[in-house]
Amino acid sequence: MKLFKSLINLLFPRTCAACGNLLLEGEDTVCTTCRFLLPKTGYEQHPDNPLAQMFYGQMPFNAVMAEFFFSKTGKVQHLIHGLKYHHCRENGIFLGQEIGKSLLQAPDYQGIDFIIPIPLHPKKEKIRGYNQSHVIAEGISGIMNIPIAEKCLVRSVFTATQTKKSREERWQNVKDIFELKNPEKLKRKHVLLVDDVLTTGATLMSAGKALMQVEGIKISVATVACAGN
Ligand SMILES: [Zn+2]
């Protein structure tokens, strides 16, 4: 079996998804050096971090974090790009696992009942074959042992008439791009909203707005990456 594995490795060399170097035996997806060098934010330990501040006075999230800064070396970008455009599901699992390990140590992220990935537009999901946020959520779920709430938050279905609407009406619609299904399931629960990157915060605002309709809900946010400091 070991010989067979070595032979497979020889014929199909496995490379690090972040730097492209050959993986050693026992290494998976990302090499040990990259795991050590990827720039962690540590934001989960700092309730007043810059990402949390983005939502002050706008959305009462319990906590907001990103696991990594977009790195100068481009390794974090490379991992996300592979996940989104090159069918590298394992990158998403790895990134989710890294988030999960950090959150296990973070006081603000304890007692989470469900993980909710930001839903992808169904058309995009069909092309990609999966929702990248869901894959990241799977990685987190495995480490934290918390279930994913499937199909609770969904993208609103638009009709063809949408294109005829005025700019202002369209903006209204952008703000309401998400809908809730089974809101009873989330009543008085602590949920972890998961997305790949946090840039303007518009998507999370919109998802938060939909989720806030649930009585007694507590929403924490975890993302893979944000702009550097
Ligand atoms: Zn590497």
Structural domain including 135 reads: 40-226
Quote the ligand 1 centre to 6 CA distance (angstroms).
20
Report whether 45 contacts 101 (CB < 8 A). no
Kindly state whether residues 137 and 30 are assigned to the same domain.
Answer: no
Kindly state whether residues 114 and 180 are assigned to the same domain.
Answer: yes
Q: Which residues on neighbouring strands pair with residue 178, listed in sequence order?
A: 155
Q: Looking at residue 172, what is its pLDDT?
A: 55
Report whether 219 contacts 209 (CB < 8 A). no
Quote the ligand 1 centre to 7 CA distance (angstroms).
22
String of DSSP letters for 108-139: GG-S--EEEEPPPPHHHHHHHSS-HHHHHHHH
Q: What percent of the chain has pLDDT over 70?
A: 90
The overall average pLDDT reported for the chain is 90
Select, from the ranges 10-19, 23-32, 133-142, the one with the highest average predicted confidence (pLDDT): 133-142
Local structure of 191: helix, strand or coil: strand
Q: Looking at residue 160, what is its pLDDT?
A: 46
Q: Looking at residue 77, what is its pLDDT?
A: 94
Quote the ligand 1 centre to 34 CA distance (angstroms).
4
Least confident of 10-19, 91-100, 110-119: 10-19
Domains: count for the chain: 2
Quote the ligand 1 centre to 121 CA distance (angstroms).
32
Q: Looking at residue 72, what is its pLDDT?
A: 79
Decide if pLDDT at 168 tops 70.
no
Kindly state whether residues 9 and 62 are assigned to the same domain.
Answer: no
Q: Looking at residue 36, what is its pLDDT?
A: 94
Kindly state whether residues 104 and 204 are assigned to the same domain.
Answer: yes
Report whether 118 contacts 164 (CB < 8 A). no
Local structure of 195: helix, strand or coil: strand
Quote the ligand 1 centre to 29 CA distance (angstroms).
9
Residue closest to 91 by CA, chosen among 21, 18, 23, 160: 18
Model pLDDT for residues 131-152, shown as the tens digit of each residue: 999 999 999 999 999 999 998 9
Chain centroid to Cα 70, Å, comes to 14
**Residue 137: is it exposed, middle or buried by C-beta count within 10 angstroms (0-12/13-18/19+)?**
buried
Quote the ligand 1 centre to 82 CA distance (angstroms).
14
Quote the ligand 1 centre to 228 CA distance (angstroms).
20
Contacts with 23 (C-beta within 8 Å, 6 or more apart), sequence order: 14, 15, 16, 29, 31
Quote the ligand 1 centre to 62 CA distance (angstroms).
34
Kindly state whether residues 7 and 52 are assigned to the same domain.
Answer: no
Question: Looking at residue 167, which CATH number applies to its domain?
Answer: 3.40.50.2020
Handedness of CA 164, 205, 216, 66 (dihedral sign): positive
Two tokens, residue 196: 């790949």
Quote the ligand 1 centre to 19 CA distance (angstroms).
4
Neighbours of 22 (CB within 10 A): 11
Kindly state whether residues 14 and 89 are assigned to the same domain.
Answer: no
Quote the ligand 1 centre to 190 CA distance (angstroms).
35
